Each structure stands twice: as C-alpha cells, then as structure tokens.
Amino acid sequence: MEKVAPPAAAEGLPTEPALRKIRIPFIKRGTVAVGGVREHLFVVDLGLRGVFIERPQPLDPGQEIEIWFTLPGNEIAVHARGRVAWWRSAEAAARSRTTTGVGVEFVELGEGDAERVRQYLLDYLRRHPRHRRFVRHPEEAEEEA
C-alpha cells in the first residue's frame, strides 16, 4: 500500500504543530467587547490560536473578551471568545519597534470560523512560502534584543 503525504506536507506547508504556532501579518479593523463594552480596534496579526490587537490601555492576563473581525474577501465576521494571554506596554513596544496591545488566545471559535481562519492562513503561506513567524512570548523577544 502506498503512503500518501498529508496535503500540507505535499504543498511544502508547515506541519500541524508548527502551523499552530505561526502568526501572519493581518491588519484589519475589528470589534472587541470587554466587560460588555464594545471597542473598535485593529487586529494586527492572526494565527490559528489567537490574534494580537492594538490597544493603548492594558487588560489583565486571563480576562475574557469577545472579538469580531472579517477576513479579506469575506464580509461574514469571524466571532471568537478569547482570553488575554499577555499585554505589551508602550515601553516594551518602543524597545521592540512594535505596537502597544494585547495578545488574545482563542477560547471558543465556531467550527466554520475556525476553518475559515485556517484556510486564510494556509492561503497566505502558499503565497508567501518563506514566511515562518512563530509566536513568542513578549519576554522571550525582549531577551533576544
């Protein structure tokens, strides 16, 4: 019996464990609900497990939020419940030449939304085969600087 490689491996895409760690650039306006109050913010990057959102005010790690954003070419919003994984202060952002904001881990993402995010990520990686930006905790990035 002939073994068949998984589609991602056959296309030169990362393995599933690596794919779960990759974040891609993604600048899109989104809506975040924090404590029942909605804010319009920018989603700055995207991965299978979460997003980074620009936000000048801190949120506590572990705090639950809701987020809505659209994918390019699709007007139906992705909706997720998430939790704040980490916060990047203005000082840390200046040192790393990035932006102030919040790393959000998806806690609940509908199956259809999860599949749309996965397909968008895979399509991006097909168009940009050298892109391999992995998620790192902000303190690890600061140690490397």
- Tell me: the pLDDT tens digits for 18-57? 888 999 999 999 999 999 899 999 999 999 999 999 999 9
| Number of CB atoms found within 10 A of residue 77's CB | 14
Please report whether residue 19 resides in a domain: no
- The boundaries of the domain holding residue 90 are 25-139
Please report whether residue 54 resides in a domain: yes
Domain count, the chain: 1
Residue 115: which CATH number?
A: 2.40.10.220
Please report whether residue 120 resides in a domain: yes
* Tens-digit pLDDT profile for residues 61-101: 999 999 999 999 999 999 999 999 999 988 888 888 888 99
Please report whether residue 4 resides in a domain: no
Point out which residues pair with 82 in neighbouring strands: 65, 106
Q: What is the pTM of this model?
A: 0.79
Closest CA to 30 of 69, 61, 74: 69
Please report whether residue 108 resides in a domain: yes
